[in-house]
Structure 1
Amino acid sequence: MRTPGRAELPCLCSGVAVRRGVSLRGGAAALAVVLAVLLTGCGGGAGASAKTSASSAPADAGTRAAAAAKQLATNSVIPLKGEPPTPELPVTVDSSDGRKVTVTDASRILPLNGGVAEIVFTLGLGDRVVGRDITATFAEAEKLPLVTKAHDVSAESVLSLKPTVVLADTDTGPSEAIDQIRASGTPVVVLDPAGKLADVSTRTTRVAEALGVPEAGRALNERITGQLAEARAAVPKGSRPKVAFLYMRGTAAVYLIGGKGSGGDSLLEAAGAVDAGKESGLDRPFTPITSEALVTAEPDVILMMSKGLDSVGGTDGLLAIPGISQTPAGADRRVVALEDGVLLSFGPRTPLVIDILVDRIHRT
């Protein structure tokens, strides 16, 4: 069974959905404090510290999750504080397609991946971005010209925008389009896809270096590292729930359970949980769901993308799928759903995802 590619995962970054009567805990004052920390406290401009104010009391998981959900609902990125960085060019960087690429001008940037676009905007270079692909759905990018048809890049659309540098993934295609863009003389820097939490810092560093703003990249990584540490600190001691990450598209009869390398396993580990599929011996990223596999996995909680849950008719429809209701998660209706474009984005907003998971999956 082939792992669903990034191009197959719809990216709608409008917020967070949590099923089964989840409430946003914490008082308004506490929520305001935590939201301020999430927006500005964990790193600013180049060289800023990732530490929060010493006067800010640690927030409980529920309050942090409420603030994270509020921020994600804005569908906006959070740029580094301070003045936007000025690219220092030219630079020559390694491209993941085996080439060395020299970038001499970053005045017209075209990221061909939503996660990469998010990094560019968060670094403070959003005003230099001239177009987007279909996966860049956050508010700052949504009005930019679209250069993809379905998930395929249109070389003609890209070249019409006269980019001075193009940022792509190894799975960006078709390859003929990338070759055509490169043949025009436009520098094309290819990056490895981000599939786990550890890839966030690597990808941020590579994007920042390719655009001539390595110091801003270090500042962003400091901010992300600090936010992740704070999210993990809210994990209840002794709590290790088993969580099954399910990928479903009911209209296409796609019903998969995540295992090793799904991306969900990395997020769940960071949130203090056990990936039920991986724990049960599933050594592929995704495996077709069977009743036997679900019984073996025995999840306490089910994690899904919100569009996937909607595609099977919500929680009631999910429980009608053979084997789901026989799991502890199904019996207790413990289903957590996060927006498709945010859950596996592995970018600057991933710490907000961890904040929400820490709260939702550890509830009893």
Structure 2
Amino acid sequence: MLNSARCRPPARRRTLAALALTLGLLTGACGSGGGASPSGGSDASPASASARAAAAEKQLAKNTIVPLKGKAPTPKLPVTVDSSDGRKVTVEDASRILPLNGGVAEIVFTLGLGDQVVGRDITATFAEAKKLPQVTKAHDVSAESVLSLRPTVVLADTDTGPDEALEQIRDAGIPVVVLDPATKLSDVTTRTTRIAEALGVPDAGKALNRRMSSDLAAARDAVPAGSKPKVAFLYLRGSAAVYLIGGKGSGADSLIEAAGAVDAGTEAGLDKPFTPITTEALAQAQPDVILMMSKGLESVDGIDGLVKIPGIAQTPAGMNRRVVDVEDGVLLGYGPRTPLVIDILVDRIHEK
């Protein structure tokens, strides 16, 4: 959920790996899209930015997918596609699709193929997917659970594992298409194109990319001229004593840049995705705004608890209590709902 007064780590497995190490779109086609932007236009006035943010928050609060307009596409199969594990995979049937990644699932549903999806992984938290059987334990895929659903095609990414489970699925004769994770805006259209091609609906993929590109452009048009705040992405899990600041490659840096701001961690020279928070690191970063995931903020008892972390209260963001949080399953999902995230950031991180 969103809080207008006051954001999920990158792809799950990759984020966990990055955390373990530290502890021890706007490409795309031009033209009109397949749906309207939240505000129905791209007027760059502050009122437009606020209206877009309010509409985006309302849509995200529903936690639902907005499919492309019109009749659901009919897959044209078979197709043979390149898989990111170096294989060529032939897909002959898309009647029982199993995405093993929440962002991938969002794309499949938005393309209009949600009725063919037979299961989900733990990161698919939107309403349409929650009724489906879950095939992961923590973040590991259960081959037995996957095979019990009799999928005709499985969509994974390079962070999906364990490898033994994917091999067991392949050995059962099920095509497994592996995709590169999306960790920045320019990855979104590429991944959409690849998923649509693998499922035999390339035209729907082009339409979705047009819609997302149009909405992203409208969101960025609303950035106030001359405003360039420094924004720090903090990944916190208070109960586990995890306190990290994002830097280059965190996943949030691309969103912050797209919203017309500067990633404070990257500018401060943090060349790793995540660095443990220290008073020195915060003093160097000096963020004007702090960006977080909602559960992370909750884990430290909200803004009152956040400013008690050493160094936070001494930053401009801490002194002014300027904190923006976005629901964990959306912030770094890098899927069809990412333009809504940019709408919110554009409105919330710039001083009015």
**Common topology (TM > 0.5):** yes
Asked whether the equivalents of residues 49 and 222 of structure 1 are also in contact (C-alpha less than 8 Å), the reply is no
Letter in 1 for 2:33: G
Letter in 1 for 2:208: L
Structure 2 partner of 1:94: 82
Structure 2 partner of 1:346: 334
What CA distance in whole angstroms lies between the structure 1 residues aligned with 2:279 and 2:39? 46
Structure 1 partner of 2:299: 311
How has the CA–CA distance of structure 1 residues 108 and 162 changed in structure 2, closer, same or farther, with 3 Å as cutoff? Answer: same
What displacement does 1:16 show?
A: 1.5
What CA distance in whole angstroms lies between the structure 2 residues aligned with 1:53 and 1:360? 20
Structure 1 partner of 2:22: none
Q: Which has the higher contact order (CA 8 A, sep 6+)?
A: 2
Letter in 1 for 2:53: A
Letter in 1 for 2:264: A
TM-score (norm 2): 0.90
What displacement does 1:51 show?
A: 12
- Which residue among 276, 293, 318 is the counterpart of 1:330? 318
1:197-216 equivalent positions in 2, closer than 5 A: 197-216=185-204
Structure 2 partner of 1:280: 268
Structure 2 partner of 1:146: 134
Asked whether the equivalents of residues 147 and 157 of structure 1 are also in contact (C-alpha less than 8 Å), the reply is yes
What CA distance in whole angstroms lies between the structure 1 residues aligned with 2:269 and 2:139? 33
Structure 2 partner of 1:43: 33
Asked whether the equivalents of residues 50 and 222 of structure 1 are also in contact (C-alpha less than 8 Å), the reply is no
Asked whether the equivalents of residues 318 and 324 of structure 1 are also in contact (C-alpha less than 8 Å), the reply is yes
TM-score (norm 1): 0.87
- Which residue among 239, 246, 249 is the counterpart of 2:227? 239
1:51-66 equivalent positions in 2, closer than 5 A: 60-66=48-54
Structure 1 partner of 2:20: none
What displacement does 1:18 show?
A: 3.3
- Which residue among 183, 192, 204 is the counterpart of 2:180? 192
Asked whether the equivalents of residues 306 and 312 of structure 2 are also in contact (C-alpha less than 8 Å), the reply is yes
Asked whether the equivalents of residues 3 and 325 of structure 2 are also in contact (C-alpha less than 8 Å), the reply is yes
- Which residue among 58, 65, 75 is the counterpart of 1:77? 65
Q: CA RMSD in A?
A: 1.8
What displacement does 1:42 show?
A: 6.4
Structure 1 partner of 2:239: 251
Asked whether the equivalents of residues 283 and 315 of structure 2 are also in contact (C-alpha less than 8 Å), the reply is yes
Gaps of 5+ in 2: 7-30
What CA distance in whole angstroms lies between the structure 2 residues aligned with 1:52 and 1:307? 28
How has the CA–CA distance of structure 1 residues 52 and 355 changed in structure 2, closer, same or farther, with 3 Å as cutoff? Answer: closer
What displacement does 1:53 show?
A: 7.0
**Matched residues, percent identical?**
76
Letter in 2 for 1:279: E
Could you say what secondary structure the match of 1:105 adopts? coil
What displacement does 1:74 show?
A: 0.4
- Which residue among 157, 164, 167 is the counterpart of 1:176? 164
What displacement does 1:86 show?
A: 0.5
What CA distance in whole angstroms lies between the structure 2 residues aligned with 1:359 and 1:338? 13
Structure 2 partner of 1:19: 5
